[in-house]
Amino acid sequence: MKNFKRCFSSCAAIAEGLLDKLQEEAAEQLENDLADYCCDMDDEERLEYCDFCGEPTWLCGSLTVTRDYDEGLGSPAYRVCQKCYNLQQTYLQAELDEYETAC
């Protein structure tokens, strides 16, 4: 597990530094090459992306299932990274707090 975390950190650091300098197509190719070289992940897991921010799972971690409650409870289930999920929950909590203070 330590090797994976170190590998993941190295891959993320390399990708962050190089992504700013490369065009979008070259950056996507680099992400795939780094994932193949560094990390022992399934092809299926590596190809999953956050539905909100578009980050690949090897860069943002595992995905969580959630709904966009502004679309209603009949909305589709989205697979999102932890960062996007936390942002959504913070927004929902702020909205709830605002509603409770108004009542």
> 68-88 pLDDT, tens per residue?
888 887 888 999 999 999 999
Is pLDDT at 96 greater than 60 in this prediction?
A: yes
More confident call, 18 vs 91: 91
Supply the pLDDT for residue 19. Answer: 47
Supply the pLDDT for residue 79. Answer: 93
Supply the pLDDT for residue 80. Answer: 94
Taking the CA atoms of residue 28, residue 29, residue 34 and residue 39 in that order, the dihedral angle to the nearest 10 degrees is 80
pTM comes to: 0.53
What is the spatial distance between Cα 100 and Cα 79, in angstroms, rounded to a whole number? 29
Supply the pLDDT for residue 74. Answer: 82
User: Which residues, including other chains, have CB under 8 Å from residue 103's CB and lie 6 or more apart?
Assistant: none
Supply the pLDDT for residue 85. Answer: 95
> 22-32 pLDDT, tens per residue?
456 666 665 66
